[in-house]
Structure 1
Amino acid sequence: MEKEILDYVLVPLGLVVMVSYHLWLLRQVLRRPSTTVIGINAGSRRLWVRAMMGDTGKNGILAVQTLRNNIMASTVLASTAIMLSSIIAVLMSSGGGDRFSIKFLSILMCFLGAFLLNVQSIRYYSHASMLINVPTSRSEDFKDAVTADYVCRTVNRGSYFWSLGLHAFYISFPLFLWIFGPIPMFLSSLVLVFLLYFLDVAADVATVFTSAPQDQLELV
């Protein structure tokens, strides 16, 4: 009975802690991007894309190889997520009680979300690998030339989905420890948020935002 009470108290509290942190992180990315690693990297990628598209003949191979490495990283995470989802589905089908079914279902949904997010990341990186070598100069014969800003948004979208998929993997750890009880789950949630803060928050670097205001970041 006491364990059930802890489940009803500590587990929702741990989830609230993780959700609150990610809502705060989203607010920081939207309003003060230069204080977050996500925002700084987005500004750096914007400059990188413009540099690559400035001389496609010289930088084309480098740009495609870099995007291919990102595709491989997303593919590894997507493959891992779907493999773990399959294992958890087998464990759920073998039984184990309603309580374990809820715990396994939570982990399963987390990994399925990570899989879908990484698939979307692969999608955008694949588009960018072709777009980044398209000439940006406009002429009468090529009026619909791709702009560097559009390619920047495509590359950044791929990175945003990759970051979300990676965070889904992080969240799966407290959910996995929930199998061993609500106390490990709650404590791991606190430790996770503490570690993510140091991984996601960075010093104020305004120099990377030469093409956009420092207090704004275009996410789409």
Structure 2
Amino acid sequence: MPSALIPWISFGASILLVIAYEWRIHHIGKRQPERLARYANAKLRMHWVTSLADRPGAEIVAVQALRNSLMAASISASTAALAVMGALSMSGASLAANLARWSGENALHTVLQGMLVGILFASYVCSAMSTRHYSHASFIMSIPVDRPERNELNTAAATHVRRAGLMYSWGLRLFLMVLPVVAGVVHPLAMLPATLLLIGGLVLFDQPANDVEVD
């Protein structure tokens, strides 16, 4: 086997492992959503909206809780945006130069640099979308419960809170996926063990709170 193919094999195996894991998680979530944190937490957030929908005086508590979540998503978005700018500052010039003179010896490095920027930007977009949904939910949950329009919008509030949580989860998830890409930029053969480490972290990330053992 040519030595030049080994880094590409490591890259391909890493990508396939991540895709296989996400495919498995997707199908488990469709059949048994209670086994995955993202789906269990989404259901919990929707129950939270429902429980406050007919409680006069709970509007301030609801908005404060949503504000805390919105701040967490804002911090995540800001971190991802700073990471994108840092990645472009450090590798933007070399990425542009490598794209201009594409060749076999630097092709993988160029692909990994592009993936790094793309994943970080996707993480920023997901976190920013999370703040958008939390903001919409805050407006709805601040409407007094005795107003007729509040009853009409409770379903929309639950949907916004659910989507906000899922977007926030994906923002963090994509940020974690930077690990094997960074390892691959440093050395292509380091990408596969970093991917295995990532999947181990995602297994814990996807575990619902009621399945976590407390010592």
Q: TM-score range by the shorter chain?
A: 0.7 to 0.9
Conserved 8 A contact 2:80-2:120:
yes
Cα deviation, 1:48-97, whole Å, max 9, x if unaligned, reads: 1112222141x111111111111111111111111111111122333276
Gaps of 5+ in 1: 206-220
Q: Secondary structure at the match of 2:203?
A: helix
Question: 1:42 — aligned with what?
Answer: 42
Q: Secondary structure at the match of 2:152?
A: coil
Question: 1:108 — aligned with what?
Answer: 117
Report matched runs for 1:1-220 at 5 Å. 4-57=4-57, 59-95=58-94, 98=98, 99=106, 100-135=109-144, 142=148, 145-202=151-208
Gaps of 5+ in 2: 99-105
CA distance in 1, matches of 2:90, 2:4: 22
More helix by share: 2
Conserved 8 A contact 1:29-1:39:
yes
Percent of aligned pairs with the same amino acid? 23
CA distance in 1, matches of 2:82, 2:209: 37
Conserved 8 A contact 1:114-1:166:
yes
Q: 1:123 to 1:200 in 2, by over 3 A?
A: same
TM-score, normalised to structure 2, is 0.84
CA distance in 1, matches of 2:154, 2:125: 27
Q: Secondary structure at the match of 2:73?
A: helix
Higher RCO (CA < 8 A, seq sep 6+):
1
Q: Secondary structure at the match of 2:177?
A: helix
CA-atom RMSD, angstroms?
A: 2.3
Conserved 8 A contact 2:21-2:199:
yes
Which range is displaced more, 17-26 or 2-11?
2-11
CA distance in 2, matches of 1:165, 1:56: 34
TM-score, normalised to structure 1, is 0.82
Q: 1:56 to 1:144 in 2, by over 3 A?
A: closer
Task: Count residues with an aligned counterpart.
Answer: 201
Conserved 8 A contact 1:71-1:125:
yes
CA distance in 2, matches of 1:107, 1:167: 14
Conserved 8 A contact 1:52-1:63:
yes
CA distance in 2, matches of 1:128, 1:67: 8
CA displacement at 1:42 relative to structure 2 = 1.6
